[in-house]
Amino acid sequence: MDRPLVGIVMGSNSDLDKLKGVFDIFNELDVPFEVTVASAHRTPDDAANYAKNARDRGIKVIIAAAGLSAALPGVLAAHTTIPVIGLPLEAGPLKGVDALLSIAQMPPGIPVATVGIGGAINAALLAIEMLCLYDRSFEDKICEYRDKSSEKVLKARKDLGD
């Protein structure tokens, strides 16, 4: 098994199902990743240590997924210079809007790249685009994915008799 290049961190085990889109893309495009749980609130030292050690372990980008008042992506970003993609998850009465704003509205100085609520697929694809900066073979994987997406639209058009 290849050394993981993407670290996926979720705030709770209850988030796992919402990350399916990330796992599917990485498995389909053969991207080595690891997944763990660390909470900015319940295991703050653990979250900080993960971020601090990630670069030395070969991780090139982190996807941090959390719901409610989602501090996790910002906390991880504060402890590493590896780019962090924040993935806000739908949870609780505000259905992810709270997580989206918590992640996107980072104070200046510690940026977190933010995708939409439940934007698992875009988080995965953005991570792969960041991997292209290290290894251009990942470009082929992105192009392969885009070609398949285009084919689906063209097939739908054909099915409509257009």
- The residue range among 12-20, 25-33, 80-88, 132-140 that interacts with ligand RP5, by the rule CB under 6 A, is 12-20
CB of 69 to ligand RP5, least distance (A): 8
The answer to whether residue 22 forms part of the interface with ligand RP5 (CB under 6 A) is no
Any idea which residue has 């689906």 for tokens? Answer: 152
Nearer to ligand RP5, 94 or 121 (CB): 94
Please give the Cα distance from 85 to 12 (Å, whole number). 17
Total residues binding ligand RP5 (CB under 6 A): 10
> Which residues, 48 to 77, sit near ligand RP5 by CB under 6 A?
66-68
Q: Which residue's CB atom is positioned nearest to ligand RP5?
A: 11
The answer to whether 84 contacts ligand RP5 (rule: CB under 6 A) is: no
Pairing of the two strands 33-37 and 6-10: parallel
**155-160, long-range: CB < 8 A, 24+ apart:** none
Closest distance of CB 156 from ligand RP5, Å? 34
In the sheet with 6-10, reading across from the earlier edge strand, the strands are 33-37, 6-10, 61-66, 84-88, 113-114
Please give the residue ranges that form the binding site for ligand RP5 (CB under 6 A). 11-12, 14-15, 39, 66-68, 89, 91
